[in-house]
Structure 1
């Protein structure tokens, strides 16, 4: 399958219905209610072969939609990672948009005033540092405190059931890692919401009135190709598959392709040796001023490799070994991404990948045991 295509990867996917497409299960719950929605460009509904945004669909069904809450990247999904998203109005529907990024990660009580039910429809990619699960945490907390029901329209995890990586240590908690889970959690966002509730991770142990609208005819072992980019720098299936492995480079002096058309499918820097592959980042959608803007970076093109079924550390280890000045390779942000101080120490000490992976084993086994009661689609 070409990297520039969002084609259906498997004929079985024709039978998969997302939570948003499971209309009969949630439309009755919204009837005669004042509704708010957390969504973006990934909130796609398919009806009679026609795709539309879930906001437009609900309005067509005469649902009393009051507000749109937008996460990182905004409602239309075009903002840079970390870019300030301002409140505003959707030009297509006239509905007010409230940003849930920056200083307003958690909806304020007054922003939820007059809302009976909040709908959540965002496409996650199964990685701890992908911030939509952090947004979900704060939304659940706000709903619990306000006594508002939250309905999650579930969507398949494009990285299936991959559970891998170091488990976050509480002292390294941040918006890119809020819970003591591995780097890849192998759950759908609906299952994850159930776990947040069940493990009482919300402030003061409060629990949200939560309803998960499940996907139909779906098992986590099925391949799933997303119908829309989940964010500007995840342009295709290959990038999504490599995201958890290459995102660690965000905590180093190495670029993972922001400012190119192969984001999260290559890596390089001016400080790596010229081994025959180079790229020069420049401004584009999702990277107005990318790292090493206009500078030649040397590294490796991974856009043609086979799909990975775990976190691969070999590229990170190789880049560290080959970089010109190892003292400038890691930056403090790396610890937040890894969720632990151990990974950087292990790489600096020259530990082989299999030995590093062995150190994750007990954490992964404990997490798999913890998540089991919350799974909807089997192991």
Structure 2
């Protein structure tokens, strides 16, 4: 059941549970929070696999942002439906309601969570899990998290957010690139933020913090429509910042988050300005593209393609900030910060809730060097790293 590359063998939590014939679920009626990337090493979906477990009964499915099968675009409300494969009801956890109600959990003996995260604080699946956990605690329903690899490995980058800027792209303070698996995050959030959940994490076998996705051998299935490859996940901690501006982040193209631009930018001037910064592990190639939907749909955008030349040294968050700072300087009056609403926040600027503070935006507006920002983050990040250390399950 494990996925193998060379002498590397990684079993996800789902693989481990299925190999054990679901012994942890025996005699239980349970629900499953899943999406289209909830597959085992043979590409079989968790809903199908767990519905077939002996002496256990899957009775309800729950879907995060983008839906059970990843068909909905970003920020699109998800309606409740019925899964055509298992015939089970699918309860939406993205829209007006982002947490299950007590009545939705009635009759369940456990809630299983199998969600592929991408290692960035903004990605909403972790927060869907975090909102469900205290409700499960009140309902007396244990939570079982099936662990999966962090595609970005164990490296940590970015600032620790100000709790005043908490939102659905950061309910609790985590650095932008947090370097934790979803199982580790569940344990950390449950303990450090006192969610009160009866939690079990089914750990992976064979995963190490030094691994990038390509090292694991685990099949990549897009966890959201605009996360088609591991390359997308690699740039996403910076690429998602473009959502807080009037730059196209490449939605409506074949390279979301790798292409960024706008009609008001000159592609070559943009690339030259960014390459002069000599950011580690990255090269900016002049690019022109026409998004088929989303920002600047049907308009020719001048921009860049972000080529990661050395994954180990690449710093996606600082790279994203550099892209925004350069676009603002070159775009002059045409550049704009996106206005709310954004991810259910109706007052604060989207860029500010993505950063978890307004100090980053204000520093960009002042033309402050990014290295100064990085130095300012270090003390809070060091404290956070010390807090999370006991919840790391892998070397």
Separation in 2 of the partners of 1:26 and 1:110? 29
Say whether residues 1:20 and 2:14 are aligned partners. yes
Give the drift of 1:314. 2.3
- 1:124-273 matches, cutoff 5 A: 124-202=117-195, 207-225=196-214, 226-273=219-266
**Contact 2:245 2:335 (8 Å CA) reproduced:** no
The DSSP-based 3-state class of the residue aligned with 1:151 is: strand
Specify whether residues 91 and 264 from structure 1 end up closer, same or farther in structure 2 by C-alpha distance, changes over 3 A only.
Answer: same
Separation in 1 of the partners of 2:236 and 2:336? 23
**Contact 2:262 2:303 (8 Å CA) reproduced:** yes
User: RCO higher in 1 or 2 (8 Å CA, sep ≥ 6)?
Assistant: 1
Say whether residues 1:57 and 2:56 are aligned partners. no
Separation in 2 of the partners of 1:244 and 1:139? 24
Say whether residues 1:300 and 2:317 are aligned partners. no
Give the drift of 1:305. 4.1
Structure 1, 270-279 or 353-362: larger mean CA deviation: 270-279
**Contact 1:151 1:211 (8 Å CA) reproduced:** yes
Name structure 2 gaps, 5 residues minimum.
Answer: 269-285, 340-348
Specify whether residues 194 and 325 from structure 1 end up closer, same or farther in structure 2 by C-alpha distance, changes over 3 A only.
Answer: same
The DSSP-based 3-state class of the residue aligned with 1:255 is: coil
Separation in 2 of the partners of 1:25 and 1:9? 19
Instruction: Give the aligned length.
Output: 357
For residues 322-362 of structure 1, give each alpha carbon's deviation from its aligned partner in whole angstroms, at most 9, with x where no partner exists.
11316624542110111001100111111112112111111
- 1:285-324 matches, cutoff 5 A: 290-303=294-307, 305-307=309-311, 308-311=314-317, 312=319, 313-324=321-332
For residues 158-214 of structure 1, give each alpha carbon's deviation from its aligned partner in whole angstroms, at most 9, with x where no partner exists.
011121112111111111110122111110000000011111343xxxx10000000
**Contact 2:235 2:316 (8 Å CA) reproduced:** no
User: TM-score, normalised on structure 1?
Assistant: 0.90
Separation in 1 of the partners of 2:67 and 2:7? 32
Separation in 1 of the partners of 2:20 and 2:184? 17
For residues 55-84 of structure 1, give each alpha carbon's deviation from its aligned partner in whole angstroms, at most 9, with x where no partner exists.
111122233110000000000011101101
Correspondent of 2:25 among 27, 30, 53: 30
Separation in 1 of the partners of 2:114 and 2:387? 25
Specify whether residues 198 and 25 from structure 1 end up closer, same or farther in structure 2 by C-alpha distance, changes over 3 A only.
Answer: farther
Give the drift of 1:274. 4.0
- 1:359-378 matches, cutoff 5 A: 359-378=376-395
Name structure 1 gaps, 5 residues minimum.
Answer: 1-7, 284-289
Structure 1, 329-338 or 76-85: larger mean CA deviation: 329-338
The DSSP-based 3-state class of the residue aligned with 2:78 is: coil
2:280 corresponds in structure 1 to none
Correspondent of 2:350 among 311, 333, 341: 333
Separation in 1 of the partners of 2:243 and 2:166? 17
Separation in 2 of the partners of 1:243 and 1:372? 25
For residues 25-82 of structure 1, give each alpha carbon's deviation from its aligned partner in whole angstroms, at most 9, with x where no partner exists.
5711111100100001111123xxx330011111222331100000000000111011
User: TM-score, normalised on structure 2?
Assistant: 0.86
**Contact 1:320 1:329 (8 Å CA) reproduced:** no
